[in-house]
Structure 1
Amino acid sequence: MYKILFLCLPLIFAFFRQEEIKQFKVKGFAQGTDYTIMYYAKDSLATKSGIDSLLDAIDQSMSLYRKGSVINQFNAAEKQIKTDRFLNDVLKRSFEINTDTKGIFDITVAPLVQAWGFGPKATTIEPSEKEIKSILNCVGMQHLKLEKGLLIKTKPCIQIDLNGIAQGYSVDLIAAYLNRKGIKSYVAELGGEIRIAGPKPDGTPMKIGIEGPDENDEPIIRHIAVLNKGAITTSGNYRKFHQSGKKKISHLINAQTGYPLENEMISVTVYAADAITADGYDNALMGMHLPDALKFVEEHKNLEAYFVYHKPDGSIADTLSIGFRKILKN
């Protein structure tokens, strides 16, 4: 009897070793940036090939840099195209956020983004006031309709750019992929847009660094968020810009004026239930003045935000919503 028990013990220990939950990481490059997925599981359930295949399918739908993508087909079309499920999902959310922000968030900025040198075609010549006025005739989501799987433009010159929301949506799809694999604890990050599910196997929450610029506009980790669910995304003008003499030209374009944003905002980090929501609203909040942005977040219970901004004397300061403060490490 004792001999049988002794022989069984190695088998029991081997079983527990196989059931041990481990940390796995998957890294890659997609959508012009890199991604990192960290998750806890008993085995390597999520693969790089699976994630790359998903991101490639999204690019075939919404990448301005992918020849023949659905979005490029629409931009070249005279009137309309049939959407796919990716484009349809993002368009629905885009219309909602456009209405909610009274036009500040607008996906028809594509010709303005291109004119200011941030589009797929390289250019170093700033557009004239006359050119901006002409382009503004081709901007405005009131010229778009989404009906029964068709995206329709009322003007042939209307073009769309989904860079302000598609990456957040991509992170949500990665999260859905991980969930289908039975993974319940993870951090999925693509180009700084993050989706979280926790806690860790030991019961501790996930920790996420909240980035912002220092006094020299160099990126630093300004705070640590501690949480077990949701999404965190950041929009800022201190990383992506053109230099014109001593002036920095932001890649974030005001769809109503046609010019790059020139307000006190430096970066906005948004916390929401999903990344498509956080990503869509972080750009819109960048387009507001700080008092208006704080009021907007206060009126939206599904959003929390952290702001880095220039004070009137040029110094850098930060502030945050009450709910965002609650997720920060003391």
Structure 2
Amino acid sequence: MLIRTVLLCFSLLLALLVKEEPQQQFVLRGFAQGTEYSIRYFAVKLKVSEGEIDSLLSLVDSSMSLYKSYSQINTFNHSTKGLMIDRHFKAVMERSFEISKDTRGKFDVTVAPLVRAWGFGPDGLQQFPDSAAVKGLLENVGMEHLQLTGMQLNKLKPEVTVDLNGIAQGYTVDLLADFLARKGISSFVVEIGGELRVRGVKPDGNMFRIGIEGPLENDASGVKIKHVIGFTNAALTTSGNYQKYLQFGGRKISHLIDPKTGFPLDTEMISVTVFAKDAITADGYDNALMAMTVPEALAFVKARKDMEAYMIYQRKGQAIKDTMTVGFKKMLVN
């Protein structure tokens, strides 16, 4: 009994004498998917290198980048029947089918020919398509023209092509976040082009604070921080048309194409920020919400678990306004 007591006292004394090493902040930055990425994490020592991150980003590009001629998505688009796809492509397609069904087709990855026709693809724009051209392209738009069986993605119409830019960035954020977690990192923010995922808190116990940008009230071309929120273990993405647009021949159009009409979106929405458990979910739904009216979008989000949203909108002849779900409001930080 005496020996046990002595050993216990020694263990307690040793624990007091050995100080835990302080965590440091590590920051990795680079370019990916036509934009910048930033990874900020806290650890006692360096656990992830830029080389490891770039290798993962390269895998995603080889799978789903329309700007890489050798990518699997380009091989699929040039095929007539389809092909076996890798795990990254498959994961994104599975979620795309789910979100498309849930939004009744407002999210649709087969809008690729329309995206190109309106000048937002790799080839740029020569002229805007007319109504007849759009009608012809719509014949090959629709998720019902695709079939995913295991690792095989089939075309039910030879001319169907896909564009995953509306969801692949969210998937990539999740891929990097999961990689950091497997490395034993429990406190980080992963961001690619404004789409981000957060895990844990800072070493001092404070939550990471995220600023949400939006246009100025009287100038949609100006930008400012509208709100700051704090949260843990979740993702945040934004879709908007006030910065991503194309101006051609005196006409300004949104980069978001309505898969139902074939024309660029022209709604009251200026931007939608979605909070969800992972970035692929948030990224997939933010575009679909942009195609809704504000009341429709608020009701849609309210009806779904683990999802919140913040919306900036402008009705004809009125000032720029914003609104948010009750859950989103609870995350606001003064």
> d(CA) in 2 for partners of 1:14 and 1:109?
63
Question: 2:253 matched to 1:253?
Answer: no
> d(CA) in 1 for partners of 2:17 and 2:47?
20
Please name the residue that 2:236 is paired with.
Answer: 232
Secondary structure of the residue that 1:74 maps to in structure 2?
helix
Secondary structure of the residue that 1:120 maps to in structure 2?
coil
Question: 2:154 matched to 1:152?
Answer: yes
Query: In the alignment, residue 193 of structure 2 is paired with which amino acid?
Result: G
Question: 2:288 matched to 1:284?
Answer: yes
> d(CA) in 2 for partners of 1:273 and 1:324?
13
> d(CA) in 2 for partners of 1:13 and 1:22?
22
Query: In the alignment, residue 52 of structure 1 is paired with which amino acid?
Result: D
Please name the residue that 1:30 is paired with.
Answer: 32
> d(CA) in 2 for partners of 1:321 and 1:156?
42
Q: 1:137 to 1:206 in 2, by over 3 A?
A: same
Please name the residue that 1:7 is paired with.
Answer: none
Mean alpha-carbon deviation: is it higher for 283-292 or for 243-252? Answer: 243-252
Cα deviation, residue 198, structure 1: 1.7
Number of residue pairs matched by the alignment: 318
Question: 2:326 matched to 1:322?
Answer: yes
Q: Please give the residue correspondences for 1:216-231 in structure 2 after superposition, counting only pairs within 5 Å.
A: 216-217=219-220, 218-231=222-235
Please name the residue that 1:60 is paired with.
Answer: 62
Please name the residue that 1:40 is paired with.
Answer: 42
> d(CA) in 2 for partners of 1:246 and 1:119?
20
Cα deviation, residue 124, structure 1: 3.1
Please name the residue that 2:10 is paired with.
Answer: none
Cα deviation, residue 194, structure 1: 0.5
Question: Deviation digits for residues 112-159 of structure 1, max 9, x if unmatched?
Answer: 000000001122300011100000001000100001211011111100
Secondary structure of the residue that 1:170 maps to in structure 2?
helix
Query: In the alignment, residue 165 of structure 2 is paired with which amino acid?
Result: N
Please name the residue that 1:6 is paired with.
Answer: none
Cα deviation, residue 242, structure 1: 1.3
Query: In the alignment, residue 54 of structure 2 is paired with which amino acid?
Result: D
Secondary structure of the residue that 1:292 maps to in structure 2?
helix
Cα deviation, residue 311, structure 1: 2.7
Query: In the alignment, residue 60 of structure 1 is paired with which amino acid?
Result: S
Please name the residue that 2:136 is paired with.
Answer: 134
Cα deviation, residue 314, structure 1: 3.4
Question: Deviation digits for residues 21-70 of structure 1, max 9, x if unmatched?
Answer: 11110000011110010000001111110000000100000000011111
Secondary structure of the residue that 2:93 maps to in structure 1?
helix
> d(CA) in 1 for partners of 2:306 and 2:76?
32
Secondary structure of the residue that 2:121 maps to in structure 1?
coil
> d(CA) in 1 for partners of 2:36 and 2:284?
20
Q: Please give the residue correspondences for 1:88-127 in structure 2 after superposition, counting only pairs within 5 Å.
A: 88-127=90-129
> d(CA) in 2 for partners of 1:59 and 1:163?
11
Cα deviation, residue 305, structure 1: 0.2
Please name the residue that 1:307 is paired with.
Answer: 311
Cα deviation, residue 265, structure 1: 0.3
Unaligned runs of 5+ in 2: 1-14
Secondary structure of the residue that 1:203 maps to in structure 2?
coil
> d(CA) in 2 for partners of 1:25 and 1:50?
14
TM-score (norm 2): 0.92
> d(CA) in 1 for partners of 2:237 and 2:331?
14
Cα deviation, residue 246, structure 1: 5.2
Cα deviation, residue 227, structure 1: 1.1
> d(CA) in 2 for partners of 1:230 and 1:136?
36
Of 252, 262, 265 in structure 1, the residue corresponding to residue 266 of structure 2 is 262
Secondary structure of the residue that 1:220 maps to in structure 2?
strand
Secondary structure of the residue that 1:113 maps to in structure 2?
helix
TM-score (norm 1): 0.94
Query: In the alignment, residue 171 of structure 1 is paired with which amino acid?
Result: V
> d(CA) in 2 for partners of 1:161 and 1:35?
21
Cα deviation, residue 302, structure 1: 2.1
Q: 1:84 to 1:14 in 2, by over 3 A?
A: farther
Q: 1:170 to 1:78 in 2, by over 3 A?
A: same
> d(CA) in 2 for partners of 1:182 and 1:68?
34
Q: 1:48 to 1:318 in 2, by over 3 A?
A: same
